[in-house]
Amino acid sequence: MTGWQATVLTLFPEMFPGPLGVSLLGKALANNLWSLEVRDIRDHGLGKHRSVDDTPAGGGPGMVMRADVAAAAIDAARPQGKDERRPVIYLSPRGLPLTQARVRALSQGPGAVLLCGRFEGLDERVIAARGVEEISLGDFVLAGGEIAAMALIEASVRLLPGVLGAAASTQEESFAAGLLEYPHFTRPQEFEGVPIPDVLTSGNHSEISKWRQARAEALTRAVRPDLWALHEKRSLPYEK
């Protein structure tokens, strides 16, 4: 494998590469800027039917992925004795929210091993035993972790050098500086009676920069007051 390495542990390997294999990410994959390995968790299933789950201890609905099966899948992806620095990430609605800062940190590392859950969840013991990091895409529940894994991989890979082409394209986007991104405009000059703001066609780059900063701040304040509060806190002068 070369470049940034993603290993996905899933019960549905046929879902990959999916959208990761097209557009700029697919081109980067073909050019070995990153690599994708997909492993079937059911290869470590038990018995004739390669069972991977069982009923929840204490009762309740649904099924829970077994600790021994999940551990075997993780260990196969991270062989003992190998210099393996990639974190094992379990995509879970109870995990810490995925942020641009975490994505950037992942993109600067060697990659990640992503465990895609199904059923009601994963046996807690394997999370502790293998030092698994739990990450959530948001306050909602998916049928499984595959789409979440794709989102995390795409968010990380697009930050790799050479994937998007222009490094500046990732420096002024939403969350890069703790704010939502300013509004964008392009031709035609007027659309349904609404023109492009004059400042953006003025050629005055200083005024354009000020306008964009002001619009980013106003948008963040209106749409994401939680982000705005953090931005204000970071902007306060340091006091001893």
Instruction: Report domain extents, the chain.
Output: 4-157, 172-235
The domain 172-235 having CATH identifier 2.30.30.20: the answer here is: no
Q: What is the pLDDT of residues 186-231, one digit of tens each?
A: 999 999 999 999 999 999 999 999 999 999 999 999 999 999 999 9
pLDDT for 169: 58
Same fold: 4-157 with 172-235: no
For residue 86, what is the DSSP state?
Answer: P
pLDDT for 173: 63
CA distance 7 to 25: 16
CA distance 158 to 164: 6
CATH pick for 4-157 out of 3.40.1280.10, 3.40.190.10, 2.60.40.1180, 3.40.50.720: 3.40.1280.10
Classify strands 88-97 and 34-40 as parallel, antiparallel or unpaired.
unpaired
Residue type, 187: R
Which token pair is 91?
Answer: 């995509």
pLDDT for 168: 45
Q: What is the pLDDT of residues 13-44, one digit of tens each?
A: 999 999 999 999 999 999 999 999 999 999 99
CA distance 114 to 38: 10
Q: What is the pLDDT of residues 112-166, one digit of tens each?
A: 999 999 989 999 999 999 999 999 999 999 999 999 999 999 999 999 999 997 6
pTM for the model stands at 0.90
